[in-house]
Structure 1
Amino acid sequence: MEQFELQKIVEEVSLEYFNKPFRHKATFNNRLRTTGGRYLLRSHNIELNPKYYQERGIDELVGIIKHELCHYHLHLEGRGYQHRDRDFRELLKEVDAPRFCKPLDSVKKRRITKQYLYTCKSCGLGYVRKRRVDTNRYVCGKCSGKLVEVK
């Protein structure tokens, strides 16, 4: 999708759902990783994550655009535009915009973390940890026995 197409879609969504024009710039930002988009307070521009369009399609992109336009229009009107504000939450429901965007499949794959399993030699109590434990330094919390890593 080209820049002018994105700008046109944002302007159309603004008129259709909010009955107000969008008078600033909407762009794709490839550096966005953990969010679908963001509204810039100083410039009033909207940046969108192109990966959401590529992986999830136009429907998800329109949902993100509606969310960012809620921030935009409320901020320009001087009303509560932050996620915690009642005005923002009510406007989200009114225009059927998502409060949070779904995680990308490409990001989900990276989140798998290794788990380490340790057991006590004395009492057999098991410990599951995300980080490696120095078994020479740490002991069982129940009986002070020696910990052994289970492969």
Structure 2
Amino acid sequence: MDNETLQAWVEKISIESFGRPFLHRATFNSRLRSTGGRYFTRSHDIEINPGQLESFGREETEKIIKHELCHYHLHLMKRGYQHRDADFKRLLAQVGGSRFCSALPGQTKRTQPYRYKLICRSCGMEYLRKRKVDPAKYACGKCRGKLFIKMLDIVLEP
């Protein structure tokens, strides 16, 4: 499917589900990784992840388009268009859009392993951290003792 076909599809969904025309651009963006689509508040354009269409088909992609059209129409009507707003939640349920999209195959959430360990000098309590912190700014939550940081097998003294 190309961008022109997507544009026509979004316009059709907008008229059928919302009773309002979609007057801006809808395009595919293959660089989207963690989301099925996005709506731009400044340009009012919509981008859709083509991987969602390839992996999950037209039905799931249509739910993503409805989700983005909820943002679009509510924003233009100057009503609550953000995920947390009651107007958005109500309209999304009414048109049958999806709240979340499915994760693409092979794209599981990447989590960093813990790289740093803060250790209390007094009681030996350990705190795992992904990012480096200044141990002089913190104290042990158990005994209020001083902390030192250990990275992998290297001990870094404050």
TM-score, L = length of structure 1: 0.73
Q: For 2:2 and 2:27, how far apart are their aligned partners in 1?
A: 9
Distance 1:91 1:45 in 2: 19
- Tell me, what secondary structure is at the counterpart of 2:10? helix
Runs of 4+ in 1 over 6 A off after TM superposition: 112-115
Amino acid at match of 1:63: K
Gaps of 5+ in 2: 115-129, 131-158
For residues 93-142 of structure 1, what are the alpha-carbon distances to aligned partners after superposition, in whole Å with 9 as ceiling and x for unaligned? 10011111111112128x48889xxxxxxxxxxxxxx9xxxxxxxxxxxx
1:20–1:113 Cα change, 3 Å:
same
The alpha carbon displacement at 1:30 in A equals 1.3
- In structure 2, how many angstroms separate the alpha carbons of the residues matched to 1:5 and 1:80? 29
* CA distance in structure 2 between the partners assigned to 1:93 and 1:63 by the alignment: 11
- Gaps of at least 5 residues in structure 1 are 116-129, 131-151
Name the aligned partner's letter for residue 57 of structure 2.
G
Q: Give the SS at the match of 1:8.
A: helix
Which residue does 2:30 correspond to in 1? 30
The aligned length equals: 149
Alignment correspondent of 1:98: 98
TM-score (norm 2): 0.70
The alignment partner of 2:106 has SS state of helix
Distance in 1 of aligned mates of 2:106 and 2:67 = 22
Q: Give 1:80's aligned amino acid.
A: G
- Spell out, residue by residue over 1:17-74, the C-alpha distance to the aligned partner (whole angstroms, 9 max, x if none): 0000000000001111100000000000001111101111111110100000000000
Letter in 1 for 2:4: F
**Equivalent residue of 2:35, what SS?**
coil
Question: What is the correspondence of 1:1-151 to structure 2 with a 5 Å cutoff?
Answer: 1-108=1-108, 111=110
The CA distance in 2 between the partners of 1:95 and 1:50, in whole Å, is 22
Percent identity of the aligned residues? 56
